[in-house]
Amino acid sequence: MELRQLKYFAKVAEVKSFTEAARYLFVSQSTLSQQIKQLEQEIGENLFVRNSHRVELTDAGRAFLPPVLRTLNDFTFSIDTVRRLKDTKSGVLRLGATYTLSLNMTNAIRNFMRRFPNVKVEVYNERMDDLMLMLDRFQIDIAFTYSLIQFYQNVTTINLFESRLKAVMSQNHPMARKEKIWMDDLYHCRMATPVPGSSEYKALENILGDRFERLNVELEIANISLLLNLIASTNLVTIIPVDFTTSSNGLVALPIEDVTTTLKGCCHTRSSNDLSVVAGDFIRMLKEEDHFIV
Query: What are the residue boundaries of the structural domains of the chain, listed by start?
Result: 3-66, 86-162+264-288, 166-260
User: At CA 293, angle to CA 196 and CA 251, rounded to 5?
Assistant: 60
8: number of Cβ within 10 Å: 24
CATH tag, 166-260? 3.40.190.10
Fold of 3-66: Arc Repressor Mutant, subunit A (1.10.10)
Dist CA 221 CA 144 (whole Å): 19
pLDDT of residue 294: 37
- Residue 87: per-residue pLDDT: 43
The CATH classification number of 86-162+264-288 equals 3.40.190.10
How far apart CA 182 and CA 132 sit, in angstroms, is: 34
**Contact status, residue 268 vs residue 157, Cβ threshold 8 Å:** yes
CA distances 17 to 33, 34, 77, Å, are 11, 15, 27
Q: Report d(CA 160, CA 15) in Å as an integer.
A: 33
What is the Cα–Cα distance from 278 to 159, expressed in whole angstroms? 20
Tens place of pLDDT per residue across the chain (294 aa): 788 899 899 999 988 888 888 888 888 888 898 999 999 999 999 999 987 678 899 999 999 999 988 888 777 767 666 655 554 466 889 999 987 777 778 888 988 998 888 889 999 988 888 888 899 888 899 999 887 666 777 888 888 888 888 899 999 999 998 888 999 999 999 999 988 877 778 888 888 989 999 999 999 988 888 888 999 999 999 998 765 545 457 898 888 999 887 888 888 998 766 677 788 888 888 877 655 543
Per-residue pLDDT, 149: 62
Q: Is the pTM of this model over 0.85?
A: no
pLDDT of residue 290: 59
Distances (CA, A) of 161 to 88, 123, 164, 190, 284: 31, 20, 10, 30, 16
Cα–Cα distance between 157 and 99 in angstroms, integer? 19
pLDDT in the model for residue 88: 47
pLDDT of residue 293: 42
Question: Which residues are CB-neighbours of 265 under 8 A, at least 6 positions away?
Answer: 101, 104, 144, 145, 146, 159, 160, 161, 162, 163, 292
Do 86-162+264-288 and 166-260 agree at the fold level? yes
